[in-house]
């Protein structure tokens, strides 16, 4: 083993930003699908079978029982959004809003989205590593803000607030980041209410479709609609930046890929799917047991945390023949934005491919317990 070979991650949360975590994930997938991890003081669900069993189980909830909103966010603008997000709710507060959001996202014309993203990405070619670090976050957020019906002059502020807001969702954030998240939450809520109130919701825009769908489905909580509109930006943010960034890492690490893709650009969507499977952006999610549950003879008591290691399911040898990888989740909380994310990432990479070839890059990863997002720096030869 070479001296600089990185040691195994100490646990799945450390694997997220580890330089080479995938042998470790493969070994997790080969082990028991459910086990207790004393270092995390919680359970691990691993491999395709473990991940599916937990995500399908009705007693495995997205929030701990009795704690709908984390203590540090209670009574704050971030807490008000958090409490309404479909991602953070079950049952009635999840089902109808989820159906409305998924339906509206399903109405998006992907061919138009692809063309629009190509235009916007071509106008923002990343000429340096620093610019690239901003662009992998900004482009997807600009495109979703555009879909929602915001004017271009508003996109940079919306993207900056979204990046500040998502800090409230990470246990790693410090006091200053949490304060920034609160200011951003207020600003985002205000911008969305203005867009709604002033009737600027363009027919055919995502905002229009969500509001019309909510009315039709009898989803009347206007705070809930507003919060989930913000949620569309926040769900796009880290996950799509990670997909884009990890695809760029693949292009740097395997230069022959760029040659193949420039000869056959129709292979870009397949390339992105492979990145989503082999080097996914979201490595884990969490569930909490609302009652005692049993999986294949293993009993997990009520009130326990389960880290659902999605990345180990992506690297489960038994799953490789299957066309769909679990990086977008599974079960009733499965991501409704998958086609949109893939379309945006494909178009950005197509637009940037030539510029990226001229940009030698090195990378590390942003600190995170669940999202793998590269931070680029000038590489050898730059």
Give the footprint of ligand HEM on this chain (CB under 6 A). Answer: 62, 86-87, 98, 101, 105, 144, 231-232, 235-236, 239-240, 243, 281-282, 285, 327-329, 333, 335-337, 340-341
What's the gap between Cα 232 and its chain centre? 10
**Minimum distance from residue 333 beta carbon to ligand HEM (Å):** 3
Return d(Cα 119, Cα 286) in angstroms, integer: 37
Return d(Cα 351, Cα 368) in angstroms, integer: 28
105 versus 169: smaller Cβ distance to ligand HEM: 105
Residue 72 near residue 179, CB atoms below 8 Å: no
128 versus 170: smaller Cβ distance to ligand HEM: 170
337 versus 374: smaller Cβ distance to ligand HEM: 337
Question: Which residue in this structure is represented by tokens 């969507």?
Answer: 269
**Minimum distance from residue 374 beta carbon to ligand HEM (Å):** 14
243 versus 361: smaller Cβ distance to ligand HEM: 243
In order of 68, 209, 210, the CA distances from 217 in angstroms are: 24, 12, 10
126 versus 242: smaller Cβ distance to ligand HEM: 242
**Minimum distance from residue 304 beta carbon to ligand HEM (Å):** 16
Return d(Cα 305, Cα 287) in angstroms, integer: 6
From the CB of residue 368, how many other CB atoms can be counted at a distance below 10 Å? 19
Return d(Cα 197, Cα 172) in angstroms, integer: 36
- Residue whose C-beta lies closest to ligand HEM: 337
10 versus 217: smaller Cβ distance to ligand HEM: 217
Q: What is the DSSP string of 170-235?
A: -TT--HHHHHHHHHHHHHHHHHHHHHHHTT---TTSHHHHHHHHHHHHT---HHHHHHHHHHHHHH
**Minimum distance from residue 336 beta carbon to ligand HEM (Å):** 5
* Tokens, residue 86: 């479909």
Residue 207 near residue 225, CB atoms below 8 Å: no
Question: Which residue in this structure is represented by tokens 């662009």?
Answer: 135
80 versus 282: smaller Cβ distance to ligand HEM: 282
DSSP run (H or E) holding 327 = none
Which DSSP category does 371 fall into?
Answer: B
């Amino acid at each position: 083993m070479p001296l600089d070979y990185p040691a195994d991650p100490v646990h799945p949360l450390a694997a997220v930003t580890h330089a080479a975590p995938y042998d470790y994930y493969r070994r997790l997938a080969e082990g028991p699908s459910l086990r207790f991890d004393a270092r995390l003081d919680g359970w691990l669900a691993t491999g395709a079978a473990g991940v599916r069993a937990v995500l399908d189980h009705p007693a495995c909830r997205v929030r701990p029982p009795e704690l709908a909103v984390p203590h540090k966010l209670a009574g704050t603008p971030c807490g008000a959004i958090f409490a309404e997000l479909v991602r953070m709710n079950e049952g009635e507060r999840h089902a109808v809003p989820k159906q409305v959001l998924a339906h509206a996202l399903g109405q998006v014309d992907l061919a138009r989205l692809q063309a629009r993203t190509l235009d916007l990405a071509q106008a923002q070619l990343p000429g340096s590593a620093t610019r690239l670090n901003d662009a992998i976050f900004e482009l997807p957020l600009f495109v979703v803000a555009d879909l929602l019906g915001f004017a271009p002059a508003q996109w940079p502020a919306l993207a900056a607030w979204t990046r500040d807001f998502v800090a409230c969702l990470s246990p790693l954030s410090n006091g200053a980041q949490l304060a920034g998240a609160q200011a951003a939450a207020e600003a985002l809520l205000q911008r969305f209410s203005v867009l709604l109130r002033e009737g600027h919701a363009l027919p055919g825009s995502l905002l229009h479709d969500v509001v019309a769908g909510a009315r039709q489905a009898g989803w009347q909580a206007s705070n809930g609609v507003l919060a989930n509109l913000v949620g569309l930006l926040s769900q796009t943010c880290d996950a799509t930046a990670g997909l884009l960034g990890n695809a760029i890492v693949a292009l740097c690490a395997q230069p022959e890929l760029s040659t193949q893709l420039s000869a056959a650009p129709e292979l870009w969507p397949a390339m992105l799917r492979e990145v989503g499977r082999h080097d996914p952006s979201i490595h884990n999610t969490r569930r909490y047991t609302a009652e005692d549950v049993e999986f294949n003879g293993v009993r997990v008591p009520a009130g326990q945390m389960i880290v659902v290691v999605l990345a180990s399911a992506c690297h489960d040898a038994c799953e490789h023949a299957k066309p769909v990888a679990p990086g977008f989740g599974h079960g009733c909380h499965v991501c409704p934005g998958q086609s949109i994310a893939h379309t945006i990432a494909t178009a950005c990479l197509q637009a940037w491919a030539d510029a990226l070839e001229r940009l030698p890059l090195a990378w590390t990863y942003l600190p995170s317990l669940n999202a793998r997002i590269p931070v680029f720096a000038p590489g050898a030869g730059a």
